[in-house]
Chains A and B, each alone.
Chain A
Amino acid sequence: MAEAITFYTLAALILGLGIMVVSARSAVHSVVFLIVNFLLVAVLYVILSAEFVAVIQVLVYAGGIVVLYLFVVMLVNLKREAEQFADPRRLSKLGTVLAGAVLAQVIGIAVYTSMRGTTEPVSGGLGSNTPFLTGNTEQLGWVLYTRYLIPFELASVLLLVAMVGAIVLAKKNL
Chain B
Amino acid sequence: MIGVIGVLVRRNVIIIFMSIELILNAVNINLIAMSYQLQDMAGQVFVVFVIAVAAAEAAVGLGIIIAFYRNKETVNIDEIQLMRW
Interface on A for B, CB 8 Å cutoff? 15, 18-19, 21-22, 27, 30-31, 34, 37-38, 41, 44-45, 48-50, 52-53, 56-57, 60-61, 64-65, 68-69, 71-73, 75-76, 78-79, 82-83, 85-87, 90, 99, 121-122, 124-126, 136, 139-140, 143-144, 147-148, 151-152, 155, 158-159, 161-163, 165-170, 174
Residue of A nearest to B52 (CB): A155
B59, A68: Cβ atoms under 8 Å? yes
A155→B40 CA distance, assembly (Å): 21
Residues of A within 8 A of B17 (CB): 69
**Contact A65 B66, CB 8 Å, known A53-B48, A72-B14:** no
**With known contacts A53-B47, A82-B75, A90-B78, A22–B5 Cβ distance under 8 A:** yes
Number of interface residues of B (CB under 8 A): 57
Task: Give 11 CB contacts A-B under 8 Å.
Answer: A22-B5, A27-B14, A50-B44, A57-B51, A125-B38, A125-B40, A125-B41, A140-B45, A155-B52, A158-B53, A168-B63
The main secondary structure of chain A at its interface with chain B is helix
A126 touches B41 (CB 8 A): yes
List A contacts of B18 (CB < 8 A): 21, 30-31, 34, 69
In order of increasing CB-CB distance, the 6 nearest A-B pairs are A162-B56, A169-B63, A22-B6, A87-B78, A18-B2, A166-B63
Residue pair B32, A122 in contact (C-beta under 8 Å) = no
Give bound CA distance, A158 to B5, whole Å.
Answer: 28
Given contacts A53-B44, A60-B51, A69-B17, contact A48 B36 (CB under 8 A): yes
Query: From residue B85, how far is it (CB to closest CB) to chain A in Å?
Result: 14
Question: Are A148 and B45 neighbours in the complex by a CB distance under 8 Å?
Answer: yes
Given A34-B18, A53-B48, A143-B41 in contact, is the A174-B10 Cβ separation under 8 Å?
no
Q: Which residues of A sit under 8 angstroms from B36, Cβ to Cβ?
A: 48-50
CB A146 to nearest CB in B, in angstroms, measures 11
The answer, among A49, A56, A166, A168, for a CB contact under 8 Å with B48, is A56
In the complex, what distance in Å separates the CA atom of A49 from the CA atom of B19?
26
B residues near A49, Cβ cutoff 8 Å: 36
Residues B65 and A76 in contact, CB atoms below 8 Å apart:
yes
